[in-house]
Amino acid sequence: MKILFLLFLLFNIAYAGDATIEVIKKVDSLPTLAIEDSSISYDNTFKLRFFKSLVADLNVISLFNVDRHHRVVAYNDSSVLVSNKDMEYVLRYKIFEDDNGAMNIQMKLLQGDSEVFSKNYRVSKKDIYMFVSHAIAYDINEYMGAKPVSWMKKKVIFAKVIAPKKSEIIIADYTLTYQHIIIQGGFNLFPKWANQSQTAFYYTSLDNDKPTLKYVDIKTASVKSIISSDGMMICSDVSNDGNHLLLTMAKDGQPDIYLYDVKKHTYKRETTYSGIDVGGQFMNKDIIAFVSSRLGYPTIFTKNLLTNEINQVVYYGNSNVACSASGHYIVYKARESSNAFSQNTFNLHLVSTQTDLIRRLTATGVNEFPKFSKDGDAIIFVKNYKGQSSIGIIRLNFNKNYLFPIKSGRIQSMDW
């Protein structure tokens, strides 16, 4: 019996050891990639900025160990630089300005000294260089046969409070490097994309007598009022087909979740608890996740819209006040400390409604505004740590987080 137990123990230790080794091997086994710059236009500051953007994007696709050295070479050199001879892949690009002032980029991927993939890009001005960087990473990812990273091309819309009762709504790329203020003036919050093609969005206007949900068509710049409610009015989520909204409204001062039919202009109250129910998120067309204080503290529940069955899905965390759902997965924000006035840590956690999976996704700081990409492949969030705010991207399948520092301002709400 003792021998059997010893064998069992040894097996366990061996198994645990293998798992650790396997993780290390997996990191090492990623192919190496170096980047060679052949640019002939623009100053060195801009060239380096583009290079860094490309390094970041190629890291985010999680397929390569990307070399961070900036090396310069002529675009048509027949072989890679000597210092890159050991690299499995070399990405070489050339930026040049044409007669129209547009920025052109030639790019080729080399394996050894052989060109295996190439593509040219052009944008009308260099200020939007980051979209080219994202496009190159997207194309390289596609060439490598990995699952598409369509979210890399999606735009982020967010609200920023610039003074009490004054805000801006801004459209950005997924790293928030590019930012364009689309609504300026007034007190407008909680923007949400109205469709998957991101040609329109909803937002809450607090400039009217009652909080009002508005709809903006970006192409025509038309704005129309959708629905108002005394107290509060927030569009928490938009269904994949864009036909239904989950609203938090407060008829008679009672915040509850309502399902709004965009075509019929009708709504149905989905929660009736006398405390706080907010933040409805579609898991699929029949099940929603939401935040409720019905246990005396805020945490995450689901509701089946067909059967009206309500289930608690999160049991960990003192105060779970925000979530995002994709299929049967929910990412939620949890306050880790129970002291209201200590240096609070808010971490993101992932749970499944079908298994007992619970996985902590962040470790330090205040992590908030988690939002799944539409395909569920990545989560975007905001990290505030030591006075610095960053946009975070979590690649769930690769178990990796990437951070992009935000230059200024605190985000009020965000959609992807």
Partner 1 sequence: MKNIVLSGVVAALLVFSGCSSKGPAVDTKAANNNPVEEVASTATQEVQPVETETVSSENSLVNSSTSESTMNSIESKLPTVYFAFDKYNITPAMQEKIDASAELGKKVGSNYKVKLEGNCDEWGSDEYNFALGLRRANAVKKALVADGIDASRISMVSYGKSNPVCTAHTKECWAKNRRVNFKLLP
Residues 251-280 that bind partner 1 (CB under 8 A): 253-255, 275-279
Looking at 37-45, 65-73, 225-233, 303-311, which segment touches partner 1 (CB under 8 A)? 225-233
- Phi/psi for 378 (5° steps) reads -140, 160
Query: Using the rule CB under 8 A, which residue among 12, 120, 311, 388 binds partner 1?
Result: 120
Beta bridge partners of 214: 203, 225
Q: What burial class does residue 18 get, using C-beta atoms within 10 Å of its C-beta: 0-12 exposed, 13-18 middle, 19+ buried?
A: exposed
By CB under 8 A, the count of residues binding partner 1 is 76
53 binds partner 1 (CB under 8 A): no
DSSP of 160-181, one letter per residue? EEEETTEEEEEEE-TTS-SEEE
Choice between 12 and 364, CB closer to partner 1: 364
Per-residue binder mask for partner 1 (CB under 8 A), 121-160, x = binder: xxxxx--x--xx--x-----------------x-x-----
Q: Least distance from C-beta 368 to partner 1, angstroms?
A: 6
CA distance 176 to 364: 21
Q: Least distance from C-beta 232 to partner 1, angstroms?
A: 5
- Contacting partner 1 within 193-212 (CB under 8 A): 205-207, 209-211
Query: Using the rule CB under 8 A, which residue among 180, 268, 360, 400 binds partner 1?
Result: 180
Q: What burial class does residue 161 get, using C-beta atoms within 10 Å of its C-beta: 0-12 exposed, 13-18 middle, 19+ buried?
A: middle
- Phi/psi for 196 (5° steps) reads -70, -25
Query: Using the rule CB under 8 A, which residue among 194, 246, 291, 325 binds partner 1?
Result: 291
114 binds partner 1 (CB under 8 A): no
DSSP letter for 274, please.
S
Characterise 368 by phi-psi region: left (phi > 0), alpha (psi -120 to 50), beta (else): beta
Choice between 34 and 136, CB closer to partner 1: 136
CA distance 194 to 179: 19
386 binds partner 1 (CB under 8 A): no
Cβ atoms of 78 and 113 closer than 8 Å: yes
Per-residue binder mask for partner 1 (CB under 8 A), 306-345, x = binder: -------------x-xx----------x------xx--x-
Looking at 65-73, 79-87, 112-120, 302-310, which segment touches partner 1 (CB under 8 A)? 112-120
